[in-house]
Amino acid sequence: MKQVATMLAAIVLLIGMSSCEATRNANNKQKGAVIGAAGGAILGAIIGNNVGKGGNGELGAVVGGVVGGTAGVLIGAKMDKQAKEIENEIPGAQVERVDDGIVVTFDENSGVYFDTNKYNINAASQATLDKLTGILREYPDTNVLVVGHTDSVGADEYNMKLSEQRAYAVTNYFTQTKGLSASRFTTNWYGEQAPVADNSTAEGRAKNRRVNIVIVPNEKMKQEAQNEAQGN
């Protein structure tokens, strides 16, 4: 309970400090506000209550825990600014500030989407990812997690593989096509196992066919914030 209270307090602090729409809306749509000791609400934003199913098991290690105190405030200000830039550059994307990170959700209506049973990055998706690439270059002291999802149509095994292919298509576009450092990226996938909407409707299935891009501070940003907080 103490861990839950601490994490929720940190989230409230971050929400209160920022004027950007992403921060004001943080956690409004989350299904699992606090999940485990590492990752917390960010995991809830990506996979709801489906922790431990599918994927390659690296989510918690990537997103880490919440940085508290003055250092956390300094990191929060940087992430708020970055979230606002993403909102301005990619107005169709769903951008949420959660914990110390930024969760960007792309579905068929928000800039990065795939043709049925396909995983190639089409021209429209390239234009969106190009805009996000520019922002990631502007903020190099962050790590990026790419997570793929599908709806429930088709076999579970097939959907798991398709979500993996789509997630890697996005990661590879950033790293191989646009030249961002591969060391910043972790790729994960959940097939149909982490829906955010009702798969019995066409609208719900469209929302479940999505890619999440999570941006979190790397160790350099955390250390610099701690040094600044201590007056070093």
| CATH assignment of the domain containing 108 | 3.30.1330.60
Distances (CA, A) of 15 to 46, 90, 171, 215: 19, 21, 29, 17
Query: What whole-number distance in Å separates Cα of residue 172 and Cα of residue 174?
Result: 5
Tens of pLDDT, residue by residue over 113-161, are 777 778 888 888 899 999 999 999 999 999 999 999 999 999 999 999 9
Looking at residue 137, its pLDDT comes to 97
φ, ψ of residue 141 to 5 degrees: the values are -90, 45
How big is the chain, counted in residues?
Answer: 232
Higher pLDDT, 17 or 199: 199
Query: What whole-number distance in Å separates Cα of residue 170 and Cα of residue 189?
Result: 12
Strands ordered across the beta sheet of 185-189: 94-98, 101-106, 211-217, 142-148, 185-189
Q: Is the pLDDT of residue 20 over 50?
A: no
Looking at residue 33, its pLDDT comes to 28
Q: Is the pLDDT of residue 91 over 70?
A: yes
Higher pLDDT, 174 or 99: 174
pLDDT above 70 as % of the chain: 74
Task: Please name the amino acid found at residue 91.
Answer: P
Looking at residue 89, its pLDDT comes to 93
Looking at residue 25, its pLDDT comes to 40
* Element holding 224 (H helix, E strand): helix 219-229
Among the residue ranges 11-15, 29-33, 140-144, 208-212, the one predicted with the least confidence is: 29-33
Q: Is the pLDDT of residue 108 over 60?
A: yes
Under the banding of pLDDT at 50, 70 and 90, the label for residue 63 is: low
* Element holding 167 (H helix, E strand): helix 156-172
Residues 6 or more apart whose Cβ sits within 8 Å of residue 219: none
3-class SS at 212? strand
What's the chain's average pLDDT? 78
Distances (CA, A) of 151 to 49, 199, 209: 16, 6, 5
CB atoms within 10 A of CB 158: 14
Domain that holds residue 145: 2-229
> Nearest-5° angle of CA 120, CA 125, CA 128?
145
3-class SS at 87? helix
The model carries a pTM of 0.77
Domain count, the chain: 1
